[in-house]
Amino acid sequence: MTDFVLTRVANGTGTITLDRPKALNSLSLEMVRRLTEVLLAWRDDANVDAVVITSSSEKALCAGGDIRFFHEAGHATPMGGSALLEDFFTEEYALNHLIHFYPKPYVSIMDGVVMGGGMGIAQGGPETGLRIVTDRTKMAMPEVNIGLFPDVGGSHFLSHAPGQLGNYLGLTGLTIGAADGLYVGLADVYVPGAQLGALTALIESTPGAQLADAIRGFAAGFASEVGASELQAQRAAIDAHFGAASVAAIMESLSRDENPFAQKALAAMRQRSPLMMCVTREMLVRGAAMDVADCLRMERSLVRRNFEHGEVLEGVRALVIDKDNAPKWNPATLEEVTPAMVERFFEPVWPACAHPLRHLD
């Protein structure tokens, strides 16, 4: 329901408040459509000089896409609703593109859980995006945990992370906090959760045209409080392990490292879909040489292949529907994943002239 997306314009700033707290603001198709509608309207509105996206709950900005919907629609015939999956991913990725290239300051308050699709709506582009993290931020691209891959532009923003940090985040799906988010380049400034009231007051009292600079100045006073980045401390090990030539080689390298950090990464990867880890690694290799639009087009094709295969349906069943946490991955082991299986995911679904995201540039 569009009731989950609240909007207001005041003092030159348009504020979007996600208000679906029971689902941690998971994105439905209706929410994606409302966000797109609002951002398109504000893009051309002379009364809006900046946009802020936030949440009514300190628990989450957005926990991702509505994966229960994925499961239900993915099991339906087109007449029964699976065509809505096509709409969801096409429109979600188009929204991600709109946000990345938004021509006005786009401020995301990444308080609480920000995962998957939540990252997609928080990652404003380098020209106008201002991404705020707090001491409550729990950031991740955990899609391999449900048999999917890091989408919503993850093939671009993870592949452009320093060194092998993108491979680490994409293949393990592990959660990071504020200091790590800043270090990886997925956040810009830190504001303690206790200061969000003061930040809100600043937003309300500052003209939109001056907002981005005002927030940066406000946040500068807290930069020393963010703490140390574990990823920075472990950077050499991450680059050594995750720079290996294949997922199997990465896991073999990790298995020889008794460092608890390496063992935690290995344990996580042992729970993930073997096939989708291999697809993710290949996607990040390809994404590093692509622009944002081409990355999103690649991801849109990968989603279609993924639902054809069924890996995500099994992952969601195990994690969310039956909650047995025992997905029957296909193939079950990394040794059974062949190059041909991975390559199949990258075969064109549509001719270029018919791709649903062909108009992105």
> Which residues are identified as catalytic?
65, 117, 143, 151
Count CB atoms within 10 A of the CB of residue 353: 6
Which stretch of DSSP H or E encloses residue 330? none
Position of tokens 């990252």?
Answer: 119
> Under a CB-based contact definition with an 8 Å cutoff, are residues 74 and 307 in contact?
yes
C-alpha distance from residue 216 to each of 123, 131, 212 (Å)? 17, 10, 6
Closest CA relative to residue 144, chosen from 3, 284, 347: 284
Position of tokens 């992370």?
Answer: 161
CA separation for the pair 237, 239 (Å, rounded) = 5
Q: Is the peptide bond before 331 cis (omega within 30 degrees of 0)?
A: yes
Closest CA relative to residue 158, chosen from 175, 141, 134, 176: 141
The tokens for 34 are 């409302």
Kindly state the DSSP code that residue 308 receives in the 8-state scheme: H
For strand 113-115 and strand 106-110, is the pairing parallel, antiparallel, or unpaired?
unpaired
Per-residue buried b or exposed e for 234-243, using 16+ beta carbons within 10 Å of the residue's own CB: bbebbeebbe
> Under a CB-based contact definition with an 8 Å cutoff, are residues 329 and 147 in contact?
yes
The tokens for 162 are 């320093």
Closest CA relative to residue 330, chosen from 271, 248, 275, 272: 275
> Under a CB-based contact definition with an 8 Å cutoff, are residues 181 and 226 in contact?
no
